[in-house]
Structure 1
Amino acid sequence: MPIIEAWVTGFSGPFLYYDSRRHMPPALRAFVGFVKEQRRPA
């Protein structure tokens, strides 16, 4: 329950920043794939 309703903004979702896709560790790649799957409409 928000305390100050006027200051509440919408949340467009998680943002993941990583310096290079080419050298992404397997665990991070799996996490990114999981987050992408969760964001897809059913």
Structure 2
Amino acid sequence: MPIEVPEHIEELCEEIAVIPDKGENIIKTAAYLHLQLKNCKYVV
């Protein structure tokens, strides 16, 4: 069964929460989030 969109977003938030230096590397963090959402099979 595919992951529901809210669950997918929750997982992404959990992943981002543990990124080291996310404040200093905000561009890398944003790029990661963008790619994860772009590769998502759901249209929101």
Query: Normalising by the residue count of structure 1, what TM-score does the alignment of the two structures yield?
Result: 0.47
**Bigger relative contact order, structure 1 or 2 (CA pairs below 8 A, ≥6 apart):** 2
Taking structure 2 as the reference length, what is the TM-score of the superposition? 0.45
Looking at CA atoms only, which structure, 1 or 2, has the larger radius of gyration?
Answer: 1
